[in-house]
Amino acid sequence: MNTNQSDIDKAAAKIIKGMERINRFADNYTAYLSEKDKMHLVRLTDELKKNLIRENNKFISC
């Protein structure tokens, strides 16, 4: 696993940009998505949120 902070920061910036694009896509095209695709996006979003909250709680408790 790469733990170089600069590499992690660059990867995070790319992921954040991608998430912003996904959010714009959802704003514009949610009405056209199948229920299956909507639920998949919801599931992925929930998993990400759980992971971020879990990691944040670890950081706070240290």
> How is 27-54 classified by DSSP, letter by letter?
HHHGGGS-HHHHHHHHHHHHHHHHHHHH
Encoded amino acid at 18, one letter? G
What contacts 41, CB < 8 A, 6 or more positions away?
A: 22, 26, 33
3-33 pLDDT tens trace: 899 999 999 999 999 999 999 999 999 999 9
Domain count, the chain: 1
Residue 54 has pLDDT above 70, yes or no: yes
Residue span of the structural domain in which 49 resides? 5-61
> Is the pTM for the entire model greater than 0.75?
no
CB 26 within 8 A of CB 41: yes
